[in-house]
Structure 1
């Protein structure tokens, strides 16, 4: 099945988006996302992709344009990073609260200031309460597969929410890997034509798409949105199995586990650090440490029950964040993982790890040091000091 190609992460996102037959594409170039839209523009110009490409003057306009196309019943795609995401925040939030299903690639990057264009996950973490589904990928193959799965999830009638497919800027966006790119007929078989009928504007049947909404009705909107997020957790698992049955690649659903069955200590990773984390687990095992890894694939909806189940019988855990939670001296996904384990202080030794900010490396030795530290404190339940991966 498919064809073997070598692609950057950005080109992987572009090829996958094209396979999903978008009716309209609108995006504004910003580092490190720029080559996503540039590649798609070339595909449209060369006749490889039959899609409407709208040239816009900003990310705010890009997000607004794709909203209009969804309201007309179309399938759309866009991509951004960091300050571009910040600029589109107004229509970005409206996208989810209007329950418009779409997929957006997010090549994650630090937010300024201090001025930087390099990798980090702060941009995605800043908008995690905006109502979007968030998926994090650690390989270019996963980028391809999750954009295709993303449309299946977003357009599911039980969900009807937009999906961010996130991957590390530069580490994934600009580095090349071998990718099994599905054939068009294979994607057509997996992903049916778009059929959105809950919000489509029709001159023959006019209605107010976004009316001024009083409090009692707003409560119903928000509860419906949260119910859809909960429904998405089940659909993520089903879609993962359906995709794996057809393409032979299973990702585990909302989380994936590596050598956790008999583990005493567990690290939780997000995005591109995961491969290094698995290598660190292997080395720790050679040292006699019973280590395992949980890859947090979806941060919204947060897979609290899956994490709690995976942590049963473990003694210690650390969450490695490539971002910070302002107001806490920790990373954001550490706080959410701890919240999922309501009795964490009684059952586990645990701590937050912060590293990789502004493009800094998260090395094998760094992660191995975390595993060794967990092994030392595993018999001492409670929160320990945050570990920082500082680079001289």
Structure 2
């Protein structure tokens, strides 16, 4: 059913339809509307779940860890400094193979303090063992929650997921969203049936002490499961398309790539602006295309290399910065194209919520065509 709704409310409704048994909540801008809506669902009886209010974000994810280990489908949401406070627990959740799903309404990290959007928060945890999905619009943000639960809870994966969507730009924007029914979601998402759980009648342990003789193997198994999740995502995406018509089987998505000489690579809501700019430039005869990355972890190395093999040049737009190096995405794209002669240039932009407009996309295309890149784009030189 098509509804005009706020992004956060659409995400909350999708989570409700996934039937989480435990929701752990701590409010922080700009994700607060999600957990507020879920609190209303529990209070009015439309969601049968234990709703836990806690004292901070570390406690929020810790409660999910305990609930998931006990065999419950769990959910939380956070952003920015809240996610940073969860750092320790994020590694624990992945290492204990707990399929928690958490929404990240992406927001810049301090200091200086910013409540506006970039992707520095979730990107900073790219090495933690969580799957990371990035949504272009609110329809995608909503649908990716169904897929995240389906993939995370698959016995071959059993890893937690971030579903990332840009704070304010999506979380507080009203868009038409095709919401599924409870019957639809129940058909697609089976009940959570963990192979192992905490049970006093059959005691097991999670996250125990590991000596050097065993620790490496734990990390190997987590890495193997994360990389193998790509196949499970493809299966889940194909079934989603067969049931509901929307295609999420590929971790990347091409736009006007057939004859593109210059290809932009990006993630998140920025892709919508890029598509509009491409349409205008295409009308002028410029052969420009977009490769949208929907899945950042596991990184779709083979798919990126395949989609970019015909390009003459590549511009990677990062709303994050691996300080002392480059944007995180351009590092991955360069690795994917290792051995190729295709020049790849990176541009760090939009940090702290700074607008990226169609004219900026045009200027970046001009820069990459001149061979200029690997830079912060849009710096206000007068304040430096």
User: Could you say which TM-score interval applies, normalised by the shorter chain?
Assistant: over 0.9
CA shift for structure 1 position 197: 1.7
> What's the counterpart of residue 269 of structure 1?
266
> What's the counterpart of residue 58 of structure 1?
56
CA shift for structure 1 position 343: 2.1
Q: Deviations over 1:329-387 (max 9, x none)?
A: x311111111111124xx1222111111111111111112222333344xxxxx74425
191, 207, 211: which one pairs with 2:204? 207
> What's the counterpart of residue 167 of structure 2?
169
> What's the counterpart of residue 378 of structure 2?
389
CA distance in 2, matches of 1:151, 1:207: 24
Counterpart mapping for 1:119-138 below 5 A: 119-138=117-136
The SS at the match of 1:266 is: strand
Mean alpha-carbon deviation: is it higher for 365-374 or for 165-174? 365-374
Counterpart mapping for 1:218-229 below 5 A: 218-229=215-226
CA distance in 2, matches of 1:69, 1:385: 44
> What's the counterpart of residue 380 of structure 1?
none
**8 Å contact from structure 1 (residues 281, 291) kept in 2:** yes
348, 365, 376: which one pairs with 1:354? 348
> What's the counterpart of residue 301 of structure 2?
304
CA distance in 1, matches of 2:378, 2:146: 34
> What's the counterpart of residue 338 of structure 2?
342
Count of matched residue positions in the alignment of Structure 1 and Structure 2: 381
> Runs of 4+ in structure 1 displaced over 4 angstroms?
none
152, 155, 158: which one pairs with 2:153? 155
CA shift for structure 1 position 267: 0.1
CA distance in 2, matches of 1:14, 1:213: 38
CA distance in 2, matches of 1:7, 1:218: 46
**8 Å contact from structure 1 (residues 172, 272) kept in 2:** yes
Q: Deviations over 1:292-336 (max 9, x none)?
A: 1000111100000000001112110011011111111x3111111
**8 Å contact from structure 2 (residues 327, 346) kept in 1:** yes
CA distance in 2, matches of 1:115, 1:387: 20
CA distance in 1, matches of 2:336, 2:16: 37
CA shift for structure 1 position 208: 2.3
CA distance in 2, matches of 1:212, 1:124: 27
> What's the counterpart of residue 113 of structure 1?
111
> What's the counterpart of residue 91 of structure 2?
93
Q: Deviations over 1:235-289 (max 9, x none)?
A: 1111111101100001352111111121111000110000111111112212222
CA distance in 2, matches of 1:288, 1:134: 36
CA distance in 2, matches of 1:384, 1:61: 42
Q: TM-score, normalised by structure 1?
A: 0.95
CA shift for structure 1 position 5: 1.1
Q: TM-score, normalised by structure 2?
A: 0.96
The SS at the match of 1:53 is: strand
CA distance in 2, matches of 1:238, 1:201: 29
**8 Å contact from structure 2 (residues 3, 179) kept in 1:** yes
**Residue 240 to residue 127, structure 1, CA distance change in 2 (3 Å):** same
The SS at the match of 1:111 is: coil
**8 Å contact from structure 1 (residues 7, 140) kept in 2:** no
248, 251, 254: which one pairs with 2:248? 251
> What's the counterpart of residue 186 of structure 2?
188
CA RMSD in angstroms, aligned pairs only: 1.3
The SS at the match of 2:269 is: helix
